[in-house]
Structure 1
Amino acid sequence: MELRQLEYFVAVAQELHFGRAAESLHLSQPALSKQIQALEDSLDIQLFDRTKHWVRLTLAGQKFLEIARNILDEVAEGIALTKQVAAGANGKLRIGFTESTLFSLAPKIVSTYRQQYPQVELTLTSGGTETQVEALRTHQIDLGFVYLPIREPSLSIHPLFEEAYIAALPAAHRLARQPQIAIESLATEPLIFYPRSLAPILHANFINCCDRSGFVPKIVQEAELAQTRLGLAAAGVGITFVLANLQNLTAKGVVYRPLIGDFLTLKLALAWC
């Protein structure tokens, strides 16, 4: 039994006339009759009672008409769904965000995407760049927001834009009275930074920035999450740094100040396999 034979059968069942059905299908009547006979032979069931003057469905044919229509509808629906998935309008999409992009970019991206592709099921995860790269490499996510540079040749990279770091310090700190802070002013301050083990390149760049400004940073604590670092700053442990787009995060007891001088920036990119 072939799919086209089901289409031929439904056409004849609707017309109850081989000639009109053949015309609608752009077939010759003998070719259509041959296909219906082949269908009946394959099923070992007579679907039509027919004479030279009339055609009608048998009881088995009436039941098979319901089945054939359901099959054709499911096939059509499946094809349409497959095309939507291929066009990105249906299916599932797993996106990995870094902490800063989760708070800054994710709300707008997710809202816009859901409006345009309401049938796509979105799954969001968060983690650092190394976490995103590993999730992409092992196919746990489809897209990831990462900070360059990364060392994974299997990934495709599309650079987006550059983000600058700003200082986050206790509201009562003497430097908080200044509208902006010179990097050299941090020379003797206790600092809170991202762990070296999780971001060795970022950590090395931070040390180099401080070295160019003439001092070795006094890192008193390391913490991966920006919110943890902000909490430590609010508690007076030290001054920390966050990407500028995170200054919208409300952190009681903390103020944000831009930095004067050659300080850290990160290049955000979209990555996929």
Structure 2
Amino acid sequence: MDLTQLKSFVTVAAEGHITRASEKLHLSQPTISSHIRALEDELGVTLFARSARGVSLTRSGKLLLEDAQKVLAASLHLRDHARALSGTLDARLQIGTILDAHYLRLGDVISEMRERYKLIQVELQQAISGVGIEMVLSGELDAAFVLGEPRDPALRVLPLERQHYVVVIPRAWEGQIKTWQDLAARPWALTPPKGRINKMAHELLRARSLAPASVVFADQESMLRDLVGSGVGASFLREDLARAAVKGGEMLIWPEGSADTMLSLVYLKARERSPEIRALLRSVEDVWHTESRSAEEPSSG
């Protein structure tokens, strides 16, 4: 067996479908299928039960999945340890981002990293919090800035700064929104369901047995601000953005609704000793003046 076969096995198990696994791994479906068949032949067991709806792990597959994940994690550790011993860092970091680059201090973080490691390359990818977390877990991203403090034993979390979010409404609604029921009956502009802003807004409404009447989705806060300013609907914005927009006459803050969350950096626990992750953490910690902890440790709020 080889590592590519194990990676195909783990990815198909996670996705429940060979088509989705092939898209995630950027391999053809016949290639993925051949990896699974070769692995089954070598191990002498059937890993998946096939059906019209996709594939599901057999009992043997479930028992062997954890072993396969451990082998892949160990191979990453071996590679990272060897690269650390070489004394050089010629690597590419793929980082998921939210908010805006200035607020995340990305310019300072990347500049400091490249001062120490001239050959390091950084690729930034916009991803709402839930998607960023999924991409870190799948290995598509090395790390991601997210809102919230995910509880997943496979992750490490670096809390950066507590964020205060407020409900905002179009200026044209002034005097029309008296109750939560009035607010829920109007349109909303929120991030997609996997975004933390979406979850916070729904949590506030659900606590009052309410839900938004309709939602327009946008994956960036700047777009949410524009949508509220254009009168499309209510939203949930970071307080500093909301107050700037109010000052500019774009919208109003509805005083009855607010919530706090944490801006965090997440990365795989299995990668915490890799030289590129260490380089990123050192720079982020220097710029943000903070220290990382395990995602299994309790959050402070």
1:133–1:165 distance in 2 versus 1, CA, 3 Å: same
Q: Percent identity?
A: 20
Larger-gyration structure (1/2):
1
For 2:126, the aligned partner's letter is S
- Name the structure 1 match of 2:72: none
How far has the Cα of 1:112 moved from its partner? 3.9
Q: Is the contact made by 1:183 and 1:210 (CA closer than 8 Å) also made in structure 2? A: no
Correspondent of 2:258 among 257, 263, 267: 263
Separation of aligned partners in 2, 1:249 and 1:116: 36
CA RMSD of aligned residues (A): 3.9
How far has the Cα of 1:190 moved from its partner? 3.6
Separation of aligned partners in 2, 1:135 and 1:173: 39
| TM-score with structure 2 setting the length | 0.48
Correspondent of 1:221 among 215, 221, 226: 215
- Name the structure 2 match of 1:129: 129
Higher relative contact order at CA 8 Å, sep ≥6: structure 1 or structure 2?
Answer: 2
Separation of aligned partners in 2, 1:195 and 1:188: 19
The answer as to 2:158 corresponding to 1:158 is: yes
Q: Is the contact made by 1:167 and 1:256 (CA closer than 8 Å) also made in structure 2? A: no
How far has the Cα of 1:123 moved from its partner? 1.1
- CA distances 1:130-169 after superposition (whole Å, capped 9, x unpaired): 2212221222222211222435321111222211113444
Q: Is the contact made by 2:150 and 2:157 (CA closer than 8 Å) also made in structure 1? A: no
Task: Count matched residues.
Answer: 182
The answer as to 2:189 corresponding to 1:195 is: no
1:115–1:216 distance in 2 versus 1, CA, 3 Å: same
Matches within 5 A, 1:91-240: 91-98=91-98, 100-102=99-101, 104-105=103-104, 106-174=106-174, 186=183, 189-196=186-193, 198-199=194-195, 203=198, 205-210=200-205, 216-225=210-219, 226-240=221-235
Separation of aligned partners in 1, 2:170 and 2:240: 19
- Name the structure 2 match of 1:272: 267
Separation of aligned partners in 2, 1:151 and 1:124: 24
For 1:84, the aligned partner's letter is T
Separation of aligned partners in 1, 2:171 and 2:250: 5
- CA distances 1:202-255 after superposition (whole Å, capped 9, x unpaired): 64543342355x57354432313234433332332222222235459989x863
Separation of aligned partners in 1, 2:240 and 2:127: 17
Matches within 5 A, 1:40-55: none
| TM-score with structure 1 setting the length | 0.52
For 2:92, the aligned partner's letter is K
Matches within 5 A, 1:240-251: 240-244=235-239, 246=241
Separation of aligned partners in 1, 2:245 and 2:255: 23
The answer to which of 219-228 and 125-134 deviates more is: 219-228
For 1:125, the aligned partner's letter is Q
**Partner SS for 1:263:** strand
Q: Is the contact made by 1:97 and 1:127 (CA closer than 8 Å) also made in structure 2? A: yes
Q: Is the contact made by 1:220 and 1:238 (CA closer than 8 Å) also made in structure 2? A: no
Separation of aligned partners in 1, 2:84 and 2:190: 51
Separation of aligned partners in 2, 1:259 and 1:218: 15
Gaps of 5+ in 2: 1-82, 269-301
Gaps of 5+ in 1: 1-78, 176-180
Separation of aligned partners in 1, 2:178 and 2:112: 39
- Name the structure 1 match of 2:18: none
